[in-house]
Structures are given as C-alpha cells and as structure tokens.
Structure 1
Amino acid sequence: MSACGLDFGTSNTTLGTVRREGPELAALEADKVTIPSAIFYRRDGEAEIGRAAISAYVEGVEGRLMRALKSVLGSALLDEATPIGRRRIKFREVIADYLREVKRRAEAAAGTELTQVVHGRPVHFVDGDPEGDRRAEDALRDIAGEIGFTDISFQFEPIAAALDYERQINSEQIALIADIGGGTSDFSIVRLSPERHAKTERGEDILANDGVRIGGTDFDRFLSLGTVMPLLGFRSPMQRPGLDVPSGYFHDLATWSSINRLYDPKTMRDIRQVRREARQPELLDRLIAVIEEERGHTLAIDVEGAKIGLSDAPQSDVSLGWIEPGLAAEIGREDLVRHTDDLATRIAQRIGRCLDQAGLAHGRIDALFLTGGSTQLAHVRSAIVAAAPEARVVEGDTFGSVGIGLTVEAARRYA
C-alpha cells in the first residue's frame, strides 16, 4: 500500500507505513525508526540528515548544520534565504531537502513508492495566529507535493497519539492525550473504545483540542540563557551606566533555528563594537570565539544533553574548555526547574483550558496518555499529572506514538 503517516517533528521525525499486519514505523537511519530533524550541508552542497548530520558537524566537517526545522513554519523565517556554500536557499527548500530524503529512505525500507500521506501537525503552529497556522499547513502541503506525495491530508498530533493508545484498550474511557514535543505542547480529550476504533468518522469523539507553542527546544533555550549565556556576556554591563550588552545575540545563540543568523559578517562587526564598549570585554571574547568557529550548535547540543542528563542525575555540567581552558557551566536539577518552571506552569494551564473546553472536571478523565520527549522532565510531568490527579497515567512510545497513530489514520483514509 502506498499510504503512510509522517510525523515531522521539531526534534525528531518518524514515518510509518501501512502493512498487512498493521502500522509499522520505517527504519530511517540504520535500524533506528526515529531520525533527528537535522540536516548538514557540506561546503560542496551535498547534504546529510539525522545523526549523520550532527556527527559531521561535531567532527568539524566544513559546512552548515540546521536543526529544529519545523519551528520556522508559520513565521517570516520560512521564506528567508540562508547561505549554503556559495549559494543561498530558502528555509522551505531546506525542509524539502530533509523530508525528500526521509521519504526516499522509507520507500527503500517499504519496497514501494509512497504517494499518500497523513501529515501530523500541532494544534497551533503559532499561538493566537490562525492565519499563521494556515500558512504553516499550506507550506507543509506544498512541500509534500514537491517531494512526490499526490494525496496529502493532515491530522492533529495529539489525535494521532490517541489513535495509537486506543489500540491498547478493552473498554470505553475518556483520555487526556498530552504530547509534549520539541516545539509544541498539544492536548486532546477524546472518547475512546475498541468499538469506536473501527469508525472512520470520529469528530463527535473529540471533546477538546488545544495546544501551546512550548516544547523541548524552549526548555533548552531558557536553560542556556540561565546557565551558559551569562558566561559569554549575557546581562553583563556596558561601560555606559544603566545599559547591558544587547541581549539579542544571546537569544539567537540559545535558539536552534536562529543560530546561523549570527554567522553573518555584519553581526560579527556589531559584536566587536559592543565588545569595545563593554565593561567586561573578556566575556564578549568568549562569544566571539563561539561565532568565529561557528560552534553555536555545539553549545545547543551540549545544553540539550545536560537537560536530558538531569532526568537521571542531580548534576549535569557543560564543559566549555574548547572556548577557554577550565571554563564550564555548572547545571543542577534545581537550575533546570528554576529557569524553566514557568514553561511547565503554562503547559499545565493549557490543560485546564482544554478541560474547560470539554466541559469536564479533572475527575472525569480516566487516563492520562503521555508522549513526546519533554514528558520525561520531572517537573513537566508533575505539572501535567497535577492537572488530572485522579487519572491513570499511561506511558506512550515517547517518540513513536504520533507516527503510529498517523499511519492508522492513513490506512483509514486511503484504504
């Protein structure tokens, strides 16, 4: 069958194919069914994706790494051009290059051409901007057509996760689906049962659907701004009383999708001028070193790794000896909570809105189905569980539930 479910995520991507025995995620990188949403362009223009892309960057191969590609959808960045070797290409072309290769690998694994796709999408690409949501979905539809899909439709990511969970139950229940991904947090309240699973039209079973543009990359950004960027001059004073070093450089450096902006020669000239007027120029020297060596993604990768490490250990420091001998950012679990607790609170508040939308008290939720990498953060998990404390907590496939659910939907729509 030529139908598939594509979960193009901010951090990771999966693609499921419809098989006779049921939905199956395709191996996209060696035997791995998840692949990082990353692409690396070598100086000659050749591209690598996924773990190979990150490895090429870490190993010092000359070129440009791009991650969190999905986060530019719905923003003006989508049609901005970025230099790749001697040419400039738009971000929508970058996304197309990445997804084209994902599709090619899935087709090789499935042994058939894939022409029909149910594309996952967050409830809101952009908060409070319906027009931005429309532009983002239209862009994904256009890109899917460019890379060879002929039948293209969409499903909300938390609904897809609900379809995966529904395959596991043997009685009717009301489930709150919490999908905390790399770029967005999405929630659905859905009535599920084995009998309902066979229906093709499920509109009446969706009791509420909402989301907020907060995800794992935001936790990375806030943690970086709170622990690493001050070592490079963030919030340090200028010589002129009452002024701090401009913060925009550090926000770009802490944001996956904005890092490459800093490599523009004009930006470097501006930073050097700021350094001359800074009260602590030695801190700006560290920032300049990172940008001159185009190592912004190294910082982002290390901060992300520290965040993940704090799930298992109370301390997860980031070594910055490559910037300056002996330099390190000391990061403890309490730092993660302090710098990102507001994000967890906002996620929990959105669940409250979802319950209000459904007209349900939290005690009416039978199951709380958790999926997405950021549900592994203890304080995020606690905030979500507190919103429906009486519900049974069910662990989904952290990175695969949405892709499986989209594939279930693809089988229904295109069978």
Structure 2
Amino acid sequence: MHSSYLGIDFGTSNCTAGRLSQSAQPELLALEAGSAYLSSALYLPWPDSYDIEDDSQKKPSLAQLLRQPQMALLGQAAHDRYSTDPLGGIFIRSPKSMLGSRLNPLQTQLYQQVCGLMLSHIHQCADQSSQQHAEFAVIGRPVHFQGIDGADGDARAETLLRAAAASAGFREVQFAYEPVAAAVEYERTLTSEQLVLVVDIGGGTSDISLIRLGPSRAHQADRSADLLSHAGRRLGGVDMDIKLAIYGLMPLLGRGSLAQNGKPLPSALFSDAVNIIDIYAQEQFYQSATAKEISKLLEIAAAPAQVALLQTLYQQHLSYYLVQQAEQAKISLATAAQVQVNLDRLQPSLGTVLDNAMLDHALYVEMNSLRGLISDCLAAAGVIPDQIFLTGGASAASGVKRQLQQLLPDVPLIAGDRFGSVGKGLCTLAALHFA
C-alpha cells in the first residue's frame, strides 16, 4: 500500500485529513500544533503600507490580500491573531458554507483561492508526515452544499473544490458523501448487518442517510447500492450560532428596540453584522456606508446607548467575537440549563443569561427543518432503522436528540466521534479508491 493518497474532511468548522496505517487503521494527520483538527479559519493581515487610521487610504480588498497568500494565517493562529488584532486584517471563517451558492465570477475566484490555501496547508502537512507527495484525495461533501439550485449548485461546489485541490497540488480528486464516510467508520465496530440512520450535523450542513452496513460490505468502495435514502440541506452549527447571536445577544445591541416614533428599529443591520458565513457580505458590512447607516439608527433610536454598542461592534470588527460567544453558549447549553454570556470586549460588565428556552426559540426553524429531513429520509426508504448513529459537531445540541427521540422512540441512539468519524471514514474510502 502506498501513501500518496488522503481522505480529507474539508469541514465548515474544522478540517481533518489522513490515510490508513500499515495495520489498516484510520490515522488522522497532525494539521496544526500536534492536533488532527485544523479550524476552518484564515486571517489575512493588511499590508505594511496600509494605515487603518489614515482615512485618505483605500482599504485593500480581499482580492488584493489573496495575492500574497504567504501572509495568511490559518487555523488557531488565525483565531489568535483576530482575538488580539481584529482591526489588523480580514478574518474568514467557514468558507465551505457558501460553496454551491450563486456566486459571481469574482466571488467564485475568491472562494476558490481561500479553499486552495487551506487545502495547500493540508497537502504540505501530508507531504511532511510521510515524505511522499500526496497526489490523490477523496474529499467529503454533504448531500447538498446549499440546496438553492439542487444538483447544479452541488456541481458548482465540486468544480470549485476540484480547482482548489488542483492548485494545492492534488492530481486526482474523488468525492464521497460525508454521512456515508461516517457510516463506513461506524461499520468497523459492527459484527452483523444493520440498517443504520446516520445523522450527520456539522458546522454547515445536516445530512441524513439510511444505509445498510455490515462486515461483509466493508471492503466495497462504492456504497451506492447500500444507500437506501438520503436527505440534506445547508443547516448546521454555524447557522445555529448565528441565530442564537441574533435572538439571544443582539437585543443587547438594540435589536428589537424602538425608534423615537414608537416603531421598531429596522433589523437588517443587526442580522448583517453576524452573517459570518458570507465572506462577501462581511466585507460589505465593514464598508464606510455601514457607518452612515448606524449613525442614522443612533439619531432615531429611543435607546441610543444600546445602538452605540452596534457601532462599537462595527468599529472594532467584533462580528466573529459575538458569534463565538453564542457558539460557546450553545455548547454549554447541551449540558446546562442556563449559561452566563459575557461581552466585555463590547462594554465592561455587559452580559446576559441564555437558557434552553431561548435556544429552542432561536433554533425553532432549524429544528423543524431537521425534523423534516429525517421524516423525508425515512419515508423515502420505507423502513425503520435498527440504530441511529449521531455524528458531527452540532449533533450535541439538545434539540437534535429530542427530534430523534420523538420520531423514533424505540430505536437505539449511538453517539459517534462527533469531529472525527467523517474524516476517519474518508481514510478508508480513499484507501479503497487509490491504494
């Protein structure tokens, strides 16, 4: 078995990559600081020639910054730099979330370059770990990237990722459904044939698959005959974080408050501020036109002190900070009834308490959509699974288990490796394709 292949989980929140060891065990590579997980984040600092305090200077565009890819910081280094210097560049998180969208040619090029930077880092780590050039890869993909244009959107996403992988040095790329990869990893633990409902809720997408698994099937590269049904859409942990930020934290910044005439303030800016999924939207939010819009809100607001915090968020580039606090609250609420959220970077002693009732309110639409996906998958297969296998970083949300228990109360629920199952399964599938 040669080692010039990789299985790559190019995730919305984190990436993993690996191959099978000599003993045929999935082995994830160290992608940063000894960790197998590379946070899907980049930080592109302003060039030395740009002075943010000089209003006469035009702010460099994302396209201009990407012309110097050697300056980019990835993963935890990007998070650390953003935390200490949010005004010193552009912070990008979760580029996968927009793949498959209706991007114009410039946006397509930008996302391709961003994805290429991350895949280049993964490729370099693989080469260093084995001292052998990694030429081939199986990259995981959701059932549907966006769902806007169905198969056409999925084809656009695959085309973009293929081009990004080629720029990173991969000669041939295959794609595999992420829930099938998770199922292949779970299959390693089975001693008999089972019908398994795989519920994979990652950072950007929710994928539901009903698949036949068992030891006699484990060496097949093509599992399409075993995949009885699947359903998916762009609905994941980052979407949940944004919704919790909007409903749970943005009221502190004036969302839902009134204008002096007694009418609610326009809400669009409050949502735009935390739309971290869309790189282009974030770039637009931090243009000078937004400062003028916030100033108008301050003039008409009945509680201008709250809206002033939105102005602080804009001035200090704290969009990701706010969503990060929402994310930590969501994680804590998986095991606690309520959690204190502190927003000291916006204002000393600013904070609020979030509880599961607020989480359920914020995620009402998302949980209903998830219930619909599960129901659609079960209806298409026409059978009840023997087991439910739960994976993906956002699968720990309490509402997820509640939906499954309501729909399938008598089916055992098994929690897998939330962050590693897909990547490990892709190692196996890559070996079957390329080894």
Task: State the TM-score, normalizing by the size of structure 2.
Answer: 0.88
Task: Give the structure 1 partner of residue 31 of structure 2.
Answer: 28
* Residue-by-residue CA offset, 1:133-161 (whole Å, 9 max, x unaligned): 22111111111111111111101110111
Give the C-alpha shift of residue 202 in structure 1: 2.4
Give the C-alpha shift of residue 78 in structure 1: 7.1
Q: 1:108 to 1:384 in 2, by over 3 A?
A: farther
* Residue-by-residue CA offset, 1:243-299 (whole Å, 9 max, x unaligned): x33322221222222444321112212221232233322222110111101121111
Q: Do structure 1's residue 198 and structure 2's residue 219 form an aligned pair?
A: yes
2:179 counterpart SS class: helix
2:31 counterpart SS class: coil
Q: Do structure 1's residue 387 and structure 2's residue 407 form an aligned pair?
A: yes
- How far apart, CA to CA, are the structure 2 residues paired with 1:36 and 1:182? 11
Instruction: Map 1:5-404; keep pairs closer than 5 Å.
Output: 5-22=7-24, 23-44=26-47, 46-60=71-85, 62-77=88-103, 79-80=105-106, 90-130=110-150, 131-240=152-261, 242=263, 244-258=264-278, 259-360=282-383, 364-404=384-424
- How far apart, CA to CA, are the structure 1 residues paired with 2:74 and 2:90? 12
Would the aligned equivalents of 1:317 and 1:331 in 2 still touch at CA under 8 Å? yes
204-213 or 384-393, larger mean C-alpha shift? 384-393
1:30 counterpart SS class: coil
Would the aligned equivalents of 1:172 and 1:194 in 2 still touch at CA under 8 Å? yes
305-314 or 163-172, larger mean C-alpha shift? 305-314
AA of the residue aligned to 1:253: A
Over the matched positions of the two proteins, sequence identity in percent amounts to 36
Give the C-alpha shift of residue 351 in structure 1: 0.7
Tell me the matched-pair count. Answer: 405
69-78 or 223-232, larger mean C-alpha shift? 69-78
- How far apart, CA to CA, are the structure 2 residues paired with 1:207 and 1:356? 11
Would the aligned equivalents of 1:189 and 1:207 in 2 still touch at CA under 8 Å? yes
- How far apart, CA to CA, are the structure 2 residues paired with 1:238 and 1:96? 46
388-397 or 209-218, larger mean C-alpha shift? 388-397
- How far apart, CA to CA, are the structure 2 residues paired with 1:51 and 1:230? 29
Unpaired stretches in structure 2, ≥5 consecutive residues: 48-67
* Residue-by-residue CA offset, 1:161-207 (whole Å, 9 max, x unaligned): 11111111010110111100001100111111101112333222110
Q: 1:368 to 1:129 in 2, by over 3 A?
A: same
162-171 or 72-81, larger mean C-alpha shift? 72-81
Give the C-alpha shift of residue 81 in structure 1: 5.6
Would the aligned equivalents of 2:102 and 2:153 in 1 still touch at CA under 8 Å? no
AA of the residue aligned to 1:399: F
Would the aligned equivalents of 1:38 and 1:50 in 2 still touch at CA under 8 Å? yes
Q: 1:246 to 1:396 in 2, by over 3 A?
A: same
- How far apart, CA to CA, are the structure 1 residues paired with 2:265 and 2:115? 34
- How far apart, CA to CA, are the structure 1 residues paired with 2:352 and 2:104? 33
Q: 1:241 to 1:312 in 2, by over 3 A?
A: closer
Task: Give the structure 2 partner of residue 85 of structure 1.
Answer: none
AA of the residue aligned to 2:73: E
2:222 counterpart SS class: coil
Give the C-alpha shift of residue 34 in structure 1: 1.2
Would the aligned equivalents of 2:101 and 2:148 in 1 still touch at CA under 8 Å? no
- How far apart, CA to CA, are the structure 2 residues paired with 1:141 and 1:127? 19
Would the aligned equivalents of 2:207 and 2:232 in 1 still touch at CA under 8 Å? yes
- How far apart, CA to CA, are the structure 2 residues paired with 1:284 and 1:192? 54
- How far apart, CA to CA, are the structure 2 residues paired with 1:33 and 1:375? 20
2:147 counterpart SS class: coil
123-132 or 169-178, larger mean C-alpha shift? 123-132
Task: State the TM-score, normalizing by the size of structure 1.
Answer: 0.92
Would the aligned equivalents of 2:183 and 2:198 in 1 still touch at CA under 8 Å? yes
- How far apart, CA to CA, are the structure 2 residues paired with 1:287 and 1:117? 44
